[in-house]
Structure 1
Amino acid sequence: MSFSVPSSARRPRLLIVGCGDIGLRVLKLLNTRWHVAALTSTAARRDELRQAGAIPLIGNLDAPATLARLAGWADAVLHLAPPQADGPQDLRTAMLLQALARKRAPRRIVYASTTGVYGDCKGARFDETRAVAPATDRARRRIDAEARLRWFGQAFGCAVTILRVPGIYAGDRAGGHPRERLLAGRPVLRREDDVYTNHIHADDLARACVLALHRGPSPRVLHAVDDSEMLMGDYFDLAADLCGLPRPPRIGRAEAQQQMTPMQLSFLGESRRLDNRRLKRELRLKLRYPHVREGITA
């Protein structure tokens, strides 16, 4: 998978904001016809980004004065940076868009949001037309970012595609494989208390990002999720069996309240199953790992 443009044309410029694990996977999919820069607030990452094929740009979304170089540079932006840690608004996206608006705006922005914007859906299965119902400021910040991006797209004639992303996993992703939780012996809910979760392999998400930059509809929201629909406990049971590890202990919700952190409990309070037909139809993405069964053992 790669972008292509006529050889006579100037190489289009892509800015990756938040070039962590997914951004680095995206870089591996791009060919040399793209001129890529990656915004980083960490000077120590310069060599890593150069080796991956990107020009490092030092800047901090929490410090607007450091973002002046972004103005007018990019033809397309892949926005993978998370919001700041508190408050109902995404001030980082606000700062990014202010910087991009100072000169010629990019023609396209792809933003990685979260499926958490829907809140608890009681296990319902639904598509992108469902209204958002955030239960946490973490989700409200993402909704704020989506709204700012839509406004920017309308105001500056910029195509905006939003990918709502669930739990990301991969064997080579730090903190992104179920074996780590299994080895820690952390419990899961018993079946009668359990919740549905959604997943996407990191490589499939990177491929979705590239396709969205190439042909993403605008203004449009897409569920960047795989085909698996599993209760969380069943997911970890499957992972344990595939990894040759003991299945996690099952506990009730009352015990979970005593043993788990507020952050862990927040994920146990939301249950939903997301339809991904729009992702496959409009981006024409063929999932490499359509079910976690394939992805866990990859």
Structure 2
Amino acid sequence: MIATRTLRRARILIVGCGDVGLRCVAQLRERPDRARVFALTRRAERTDAVRAAGATPVRGDLDSRTSLARIAGLAGTVLHLAPPQKSGDDDLRTRRLIAALAVRRRAVSRPALAGVAPRALRPSLHALVGRIRRNAFGHTVGSGASVIVPERIRRIPRARRKRLERPTLVYASTTGVYGDCGGARIDETRTVQPANARAKRRVSAERQLRRATACGALRATIARIPGIYAANRLPLARLEKRTPALVASDDVYTSHIHADDLAAILLRLATHGRPGRTIHATDDSELKMGEYFDRVADAFGLARAPRVSRAEAERELEPVLLSFMRESRRLANARLKRELGVRLRYPDVDAFLRTLPPHP
């Protein structure tokens, strides 16, 4: 009985089980159904942390397609949290993952799987059953030949076959796919305009997943994610180094989401997300970048970041940091609340900062 219940438990595979992935594992362990969770990892030193969190590590590397053979059919739900590779405009890692998951569908689509009779044989089976019924009083069928009929012809319900054939995949994308929006408030219908190679690879992954959904290989839902924060993901080191922020007139709007809320959103998308649909995984904050740094500095009793003009920032700051200072947008999250019914634990950054102990 225990073994049967274990086999019937839902299976979830997390690809890219970092901080947010481990938070997903923790939230899954709190649920009564206790789904069995697997985590794809390419580094042997990560296996202990994965096991300690309550997931089963599976060795594999998105940069090596042959290493992904073991994940085909492993789970009906996949959380794709891994970033693309660091070069090129095409996300090759997502391409390899789709190819590995699509193997399951080809295997399940064979007519003879699990006792499902081929469509061409079904009329003859029905005719045979009818003849057996007509001879239920001991008469022989045909020319004296005995007939052995199975007690029950087992068929898999159509809905269950679809779940087996099409794994549900939730992809963690980025709001960087929009590029600079000049501070405008945008929803998920905004046309993507990636401004750097990193964002172009994310757009590539989204398009691959939509095509795979359209052709029936899987059911993908996309979460576009802004800046993630948590107690262990705050810009304290930046504040302590006195890295400057932009003056208010040159500053950009940024959006945010707490890591715990993000994990809950991703799990909600796995059960309630629409195939091919995009959702903004963002809270209600509408802060400029410098304002965000000031709120964190005040909460921890640190000096606020010095402010510089955009021209000064172009001369003083690193290119990666500057890339985030060139894009300004405010994200609408009505779809998140209306379609998924998500209630955020931290509706904005201030709600989280108020939970921290006071600092001198």
Where does residue 151 of structure 2 map in the other structure?
none
Contact 1:74 1:106 (8 Å CA) reproduced: no
- Answer 1 or 2: higher relative contact order, Cα 8 Å, separation at least 6: 1
Letter in 1 for 2:17: C
Which digits, 9 at most, give the CA deviation of each residue in 1:21-47, with x for residues without a partner?
000000011135311110000111112
Q: Distance in 1 between matches of 2:328 and 2:167?
A: 36
Structure with the greater alpha carbon radius of gyration: 2
Where does residue 10 of structure 2 map in the other structure?
12
Contact 1:116 1:139 (8 Å CA) reproduced: yes
Which digits, 9 at most, give the CA deviation of each residue in 1:183-234, with x for residues without a partner?
1211000011110001111011001011111211222100001100011111
Mapped pair 1:171 → 2:255: no
**CA-based RMSD:** 1.5
Q: CA deviation at 1:74?
A: 1.4
Structure 1 gap segments, 5+ residues each: 1-6
Q: CA deviation at 1:126?
A: 1.1
Contact 1:182 1:240 (8 Å CA) reproduced: yes
Aligned pair partner of 1:262 in 312, 319, 328: 319
Letter in 1 for 2:77: A
Equivalences for residues 180-259 of structure 1 within 5 A: 180-259=237-316
Structure 2 gap segments, 5+ residues each: 106-164, 356-360
Instruction: Show structure 1 runs of 4+ deviating over 3 A.
Output: none
Letter in 1 for 2:95: A
Distance 1:9 1:44, change over 3 A: closer
Mapped pair 1:112 → 2:187: no
Q: Distance in 2 between matches of 1:116 and 1:53?
A: 32
Which digits, 9 at most, give the CA deviation of each residue in 1:165-192, with x for residues without a partner?
01111113xxx20222211211000011
Letter in 2 for 1:65: T
Distance 1:157 1:101, change over 3 A: closer
Give the % identical residues.
Answer: 54
Distance 1:59 1:157, change over 3 A: closer
Q: Calculate the TM-score normalised by the size of structure 1.
A: 0.94
Q: Distance in 2 between matches of 1:283 and 1:8?
A: 29
After superposing the two structures, state which structure 1 stretch, 221-230 or 150-159, moved more. Answer: 150-159
Q: Distance in 1 between matches of 2:6 and 2:205?
A: 36
Mapped pair 1:142 → 2:140: no
Contact 1:76 1:106 (8 Å CA) reproduced: no
- Counterpart secondary structure, 2:215: helix
Q: Calculate the TM-score normalised by the size of structure 2.
A: 0.78
Q: Distance in 2 between matches of 1:235 and 1:288?
A: 19
Which digits, 9 at most, give the CA deviation of each residue in 1:237-281, with x for residues without a partner?
111112111111000111101110111111111000000111111
Where does residue 3 of structure 1 map in the other structure?
none
